[in-house]
Amino acid sequence: MAKRNFNGALRVGAAAALALLVGGGLYFAMQKPAAEGRDDHAGQVEGDHAGEDAAQDAEGFVALTPAQLQATGIGVVGVSRGGGQETRLSGRVEPMVDARAVVAASVGGRVERVLIAPGQSVRAGQPLVSLVSGDAASLRAEADAAQAVYVAAEQSHRRDEELADQGVIARREAEVSHAQALSAQSTARAAQARAAAAGAPDIAGRLNVTSPIAGVVTNVQVGPGGFVAQGGVVAEVTNPARVELVFNAPPALAAAVRAGSTLRATGPNGAFDAVVIGVAADAGTGESGATVIRARPSGASLPPAGSAVTGSIVTGEAEASGLTVPTEAVQTVEGDTVVFVLVQGGFQATPVLTGRQASSRTEILRGLTGTERIASTNAFLLKAEMAKGEAEHGH
């Protein structure tokens, strides 16, 4: 393996890699050997920089500046510890518990106006239907009456306090009026809460039935002039963006998987990483006792609800000293298995001995200490540059 510098135009053997690098604006250049007839002064200058170049003379070194690293899209990650056993899962994309709302009327009444239609987007708290309800009018009247009684009781209490301070009445009478005011205040609060639960009707009994979530109206079950009984459904709202992954897993997996664990999922749009957000043991139907694992994607969008997905999760972690790296970080160069370790000025191809592979990660048995930072995403670009360099060096 030969030293390479990223200062000229990159020529990668694979056409796809060439297009990616050229589009990213990355350029590579071969370091040309010094002319045979250089003079003594040139030799002296080169000697002064021998220490500076020594870091780049190692076999398998690929020079890369921070700007070039960003342009290529090569990802740099740390080496993880631990291993484990891979378990394959089958699942589907399902709406979250709060992704669907069946909106019902809290009181019975006549439908005065329908403010939405199927397919319309609504926000949380937006009115869907306007009702006129005699029951709602009664609730509003009770709330207003209770508030009036409280105001009168509070004014009476204030007068008694002033008279008690002047010695006109006994202090005990002022304390009794204080208790009566507190009781009236509690009654008023309860009446106002009942009116608010009914939809905060006005004095004529008009109120709006609102959506509890943001989403899209999927069904409207009432029309103007119709009557809705208390608890009757007026519309349904669904938020298509509120979806999650739901996997069926063997019962034994319930004790091995917990919230925060990572898994690799594959759907109609390809593979992506996901994080477990919940594990429910014995949640299956019948007597299967299956475990349900819920997960959300990490930086990826999910396909529509109902889409089938598969997943793989690593459990039974091995000893803490075990090392793993992303599988895409492991490359084969001239028959050697290597990873590209980030060093001063670029990357160094480091031979490694690999072990098991599970959930897009590969176990490293020898070659790394665990403190390194390595190339992961697009690591094949470094391999391609080295292969090109070997070919040119042969000429």
Q: Is the pLDDT at 288 greater than 50, yes or no?
A: yes
d(CA 323, CA 360): 14
d(CA 393, CA 395): 5
Q: Is the pLDDT at 27 greater than 90, yes or no?
A: no
Give me the pLDDT at residue 253, please.
82
Choice among 75-84, 144-153, 252-261, 302-311 with the minimum mean pLDDT: 75-84
Q: Is the pLDDT at 286 greater than 70, yes or no?
A: no
Q: Let me know: does 8 contact 34? Beta carbons within 8 Å.
A: no
* pLDDT: which is higher, 301 or 309: 309
Averaged over 41-50, what is the pLDDT? Answer: 41
Q: Is the pLDDT at 196 greater than 60, yes or no?
A: yes
Averaged over 295-314, what is the pLDDT? Answer: 86
Q: Is the pLDDT at 46 greater than 60, yes or no?
A: no
| Helices 134-166 + 171-197 axis angle, to 10 | 160
d(CA 75, CA 330): 13
Give me the pLDDT at residue 359, please.
61
d(CA 352, CA 154): 83
Q: Let me know: does 311 contact 88? Beta carbons within 8 Å.
A: yes
Give me the pLDDT at residue 121, please.
95
Q: Is the pLDDT at 50 greater than 60, yes or no?
A: no
Averaged over 100-111, what is the pLDDT? Answer: 95
Q: Is the pLDDT at 30 greater than 70, yes or no?
A: no
Q: Is the pLDDT at 34 greater than 90, yes or no?
A: no
* pLDDT: which is higher, 125 or 5: 125
Q: Does the CA dihedral 124-127-131-137 come out positive or negative?
A: positive
Buried (b) or exposed (e) across 249-279, using 16+ Cβ within 10 A?
beeebbebbeeebebbbebeeeebebebeeb
Q: What is the pLDDT of residues 82-105, one digit of tens each?
A: 656 678 899 999 999 899 999 999
Please name the residue that has the structure tokens 């003079």.
39
Q: Is the pLDDT at 201 greater than 60, yes or no?
A: yes
Rounded to two decimals, the pTM is: 0.54
Buried (b) or exposed (e) across 286-296, using 16+ Cβ within 10 A?
eeeebbbbbbe
| 391 residue type, one letter | A
* pLDDT: which is higher, 239 or 261: 239
Give me the pLDDT at residue 317, please.
54
Give me the pLDDT at residue 16, please.
39
Give me the pLDDT at residue 122, please.
96
Whose CA is closest to 85, among 258, 252, 314?
Answer: 314
Q: What is the pLDDT of residues 345-354, one digit of tens each?
A: 999 999 999 8
Q: Is the pLDDT at 174 greater than 60, yes or no?
A: yes
Q: Is the pLDDT at 142 greater than 60, yes or no?
A: yes
Give me the pLDDT at residue 144, please.
96
Choice among 31-40, 125-134, 233-242, 363-372 with the minimum mean pLDDT: 31-40
Choice among 194-198, 305-309, 333-337 with the minimum mean pLDDT: 333-337
Averaged over 290-317, what is the pLDDT? Answer: 84
Give me the pLDDT at residue 129, please.
96
Query: What are the helix (H) ranges across the chain?
Result: 15-24, 40-48, 50-54, 66-72, 134-166, 171-197, 380-394
Averaged over 262-277, what is the pLDDT? Answer: 86
d(CA 334, CA 368): 20
